Structure 1
Amino acid sequence: MSTDSLTKTPVEPPGPAAPPPSGAPLTARRLVPGWRLRLAGGRIALRLPKRPLVTGFALLAAVLTVAVLALGTGDFTVSPPDVVRALAGAGTSATDYVVNTLRLPRLLVGIVVGAALGMSGAVFQSLARNPLGSPDIIGFETGAATGALLQLLIFGGGPFAVAVSAVLGGLGTALAVYALSYKRGVQGYRLILVGIAAGALLSSVNSYLMIKASLDEAQAAAVWLTGSLNGRGWDQLAPALIAVAVLVPAVLLLGPHLRMMEAGDASAKALGVPVERSRLALVIVAVLLCATATAAAGPIAFVALAAPQLARRLTRAAGVTLVPAALMGALLLIAGDFAAQRVLAPIQLPVGIMTAAIGGLYLMWLLTHEWRAGRR
């Protein structure tokens, strides 16, 4: 059995690059620094871009750092070494109860929800070829909220029924928007415009449902609509984790098609990509990711919008960055929840309010940046 080897791709020295020999293909290896991972004795070669890989590890380290801080702070303070020992099963009974029973489920729900929103936003922004094409802007998250509200206020279902209704609401909204924006294919600007209109319509439906509900039901629904990790436990984590474990590999398998489609439908078709089938499959999987996150924690705004853009700026990648976007989404959500719980103490805000406040500022900056870029 041959061993795997990790070899670093040679990087051209600074200065004008020499032209390739006559007849030699100009490969991506010559243009972007990175590593090549050789498997099975060299029969399988994978190229690992350097900066996205380093950025991914840095984001993962940041997620773990915030996680340890979140698990250790509160009314009962636990030092970082004791947090690590409790997670490893070597802590005292007190630290084990505080870390693993009280705080860990909430943290894991935040990581799973943030990662799902970040990856979902990356897919939609790539499909729309527009930084505003995130599921919370184009109405898919609002559709999931409508499905959940119907179950909460009309049918009176339990948590599992609410989660299923949120998924069905988001998926139904996405299919309707896709169908209405289809005209000899789906263009990004049509998808965004139809999605914004659908989101406005569904927001009015949600408001109507809230007005017609009883006071107690309306208050409970209003708390859910803000998006919060309060009271989240293993019951919410298990279905979300299972769904994300199935959907994330599906997105990664479709990732090469998504990257080729960013160059344009004509170029992707020339490379053998079934564009419309791939686009529909990506829409369905990304909507399921967004709806799963909404079912677990409520509609949390702007994480799906900001995470892919921040990840792309950190990696300086020309195309979609799925894994860094997921890690950035997880980092934004748990950092926002940590700030809402601890930094603003004794006032504890739902994380959805914190992300909406920060995301609103980010959206204003993004619109200003795009407007200035359009004038050049």
Structure 2
Amino acid sequence: MTRPTVWTATWLGAGLLTALVASVVLGQRLIGIAELLALASGEAGGGLEFILWQSRLPVAVAGLLAGVALGLAGALFQSLLHNPLASPDVIGVQLGASAAAVAGMVLGGLDGWAVSFLALAGAAVVAFGIYGLSHGARDVGGALILHGVAAGALLGAVVVHLLTRADARQVGDVYRWLTGSLNSTTWAEIGALGLGLAVALPLLLAAGRWLRLLELGDDAASSLGVPVGVARALLVGLGAALTGFTVAATGPIAFVSLMAGPLARITNRGRTSLPLAALWGALLVTAAETLSHSAFGGTNLPVGVITGALGAPFLLWLLTRSRRL
């Protein structure tokens, strides 16, 4: 990484650390410095330990991991397709994961790892499906977005239909999950997401050179020794995997994958940076989660509501900016 990139990563890391600490200590029950020291020394009461280990920390860790995964997935698709709008939540990949997971929960009563694998499969089917339909188009990125929007509309209707078949308890659970809520995330779900990241990150690092060369165009990449078909299939699969595992753990968190990549480029002099996209994604989710449980009195909003409120004007800005280019 260049020196400006390292500097940007440093202040993003500092902001992320601040947001993580705020996420843990703020809320209806404020945790002070003295109580944190007591927790560290093992002298705190059981009630405070429960709040920390079973409520605050799972939410903070889930937000961190989800933000990293969504930031990487968004930057990956946007770079691969040369279009800032080509993020998993815009092109239907996130909805593919959601529809598959909801089908498993409502029709099969599934949870845990089974839902994770269904979400992964749903994201992969949509990602490869719309990519296959768009292959060969003059503007692959634009065609893929149009196919993705159409797929998203269809999958949204599938989710609504599944909700009509669910019982009252399932409707509440699924609806809360669909809003992108971290409040009920368990350590088991966090473990599944962490394992998915542990598998995907080394593959992404290994394929990073291919991604940088593919940004030059298929012909240039091929002349430099990149197996274009294999590289694109691997990168699409990695983006789908990151999206699927995140959706399974936290539900679909809106617009994080859309915002992280462009913010990384803006703060990196117009160059794509997957590490910065990961940091931006983690910062966006963690900061939004902190606001969701500390800025509205006794109301805990789903984190997806906050990111959706931020992402809508950001999407309008991206559309306006693209029109001017």
**What is residue 42 of structure 1 aligned with on the other side?**
none
1:359 and 2:311 equivalent?
yes
For structure 1, the residue ranges without an aligned partner over 5 or more in a row are 1-47
Per the alignment, do residues 223 and 59 of structure 1 end up closer, same or farther by CA in structure 2, a change over 3 Å counting?
Answer: same
Q: Do structure 1's residue 169 and structure 2's residue 119 form an aligned pair?
A: no
Match of 1:289 among 227, 232, 242: 242
TM-score by length of 2: 0.94
Q: Please tell me whether residue 90 in structure 1 is matched to residue 38 in structure 2.
A: no
> CA 1:238/1:185 → structure 2, altered by over 3 Å: closer, same or farther?
farther
- Separation in structure 1 between the aligned mates of residue 186 and residue 9 of structure 2, nearest angstrom: 27
Q: 1:134 to 1:264 in 2, by over 3 A?
A: same
**Secondary structure at the residue paired with 2:267?**
helix
The answer on whether the counterparts of 1:52 and 1:317 sit within 8 Å (CA) in structure 2 is: no
User: How far off is 1:117 after superposition?
Assistant: 0.2
> TM-score, with normalisation over the residues of structure 1?
0.81
Structure 2 unmatched runs, 5+: none
Kindly indicate whether structure 1 or structure 2 has the higher relative contact order, using CA contacts under 8 Å at least 6 residues apart. 2
1:60-89 deviations in whole A, cap 9, x for unaligned?
111111111111122332234754774xx4
Closer/same/farther in 2, CA of residues 80 and 255 from structure 1, 3 Å limit: farther
Q: Shift in Å at residue 200 of structure 1?
A: 1.5
Structure 1 distance, partners of 2:214, 2:317, is 27
Are 1:82 and 1:91, in contact at CA under 8 Å, matched by a contact in 2?
Answer: no
Deviation at 1:293?
0.5
One-letter amino acid matched to 1:57: T
Deviates more, 1:127-136 or 1:158-167: 158-167
- Any idea what SS the aligned residue of 2:41 has? coil
Q: Any residues of structure 2 matched to 1:61-76 within 5 Å, and which?
A: 61-76=14-29
Q: 1:256 aligns with which of 198, 209, 217?
A: 209
The correspondence of residues 310-321 of structure 1 with structure 2, limited to 5 A, is 310-318=263-271, 320-321=272-273
8 Å Cα contact 1:67/1:334 also seen in 2:
yes
Task: Name the one with the larger helix percent.
Answer: 2
CA-CA distance at 1:361 after TM superposition = 1.4
Q: Aligned letter for 2:210?
A: H
Aligned residue type for 1:202: L
1:348 equivalent in alignment to 2:269: no
- SS, match of residue 75 in structure 1: coil
Which one of 53, 65, 71 corresponds to residue 118 of structure 1? 71
Asked if structure 2 preserves the Cα contact closer than 8 Å seen for 1:136 and 1:302, the reply is yes
- Change over 3 Å in CA distance of 1:208–1:93 after alignment to 2: same
Closer, same or farther: CA 186–90 of 1 in aligned 2, 3 Å: farther
Does structure 1 conserve the Cα–Cα contact (< 8 Å) formed by 2:130 and 2:147?
Answer: yes
Tell me the secondary structure at the aligned position of residue 93 of structure 1. coil
**Structure 1 segments of 4+ aligned residues over 3 angstroms from their partners:** 80-86, 94-98
Matches within 5 A, 1:1-376: 48-80=1-33, 83=36, 86=39, 89-94=40-45, 96-183=49-136, 187-318=140-271, 320-371=272-323, 373-374=324-325
More displaced, 263-272 or 288-297? Answer: 263-272
Aligned length: 323
Cα drift, residue 261 of structure 1: 0.8
> Quick one: distance in 1 between partners of 2:111 and 2:186?
15
Larger Rg: 1
Q: 1:154 to 1:328 in 2, by over 3 A?
A: same
**Cα deviation digits, residues 219-249 of structure 1 (max 9, x gap):** 3221111110012121111111111011012
Letter of the 2:151 partner, please give it.
A
Provide the C-alpha distance between the structure 1 equivalents of 2:255 and 2:296, rounded to a whole number of angstroms. 20
* Aligned equivalents of 1:140, 1:106: Cα separation in 2: 24
Q: Please give the root-mean-square deviation of Cα atoms over the aligned residues, in Å.
A: 1.9
Q: C-alpha separation between the residues in 2 aligned to 1:214 and 1:98?
A: 31
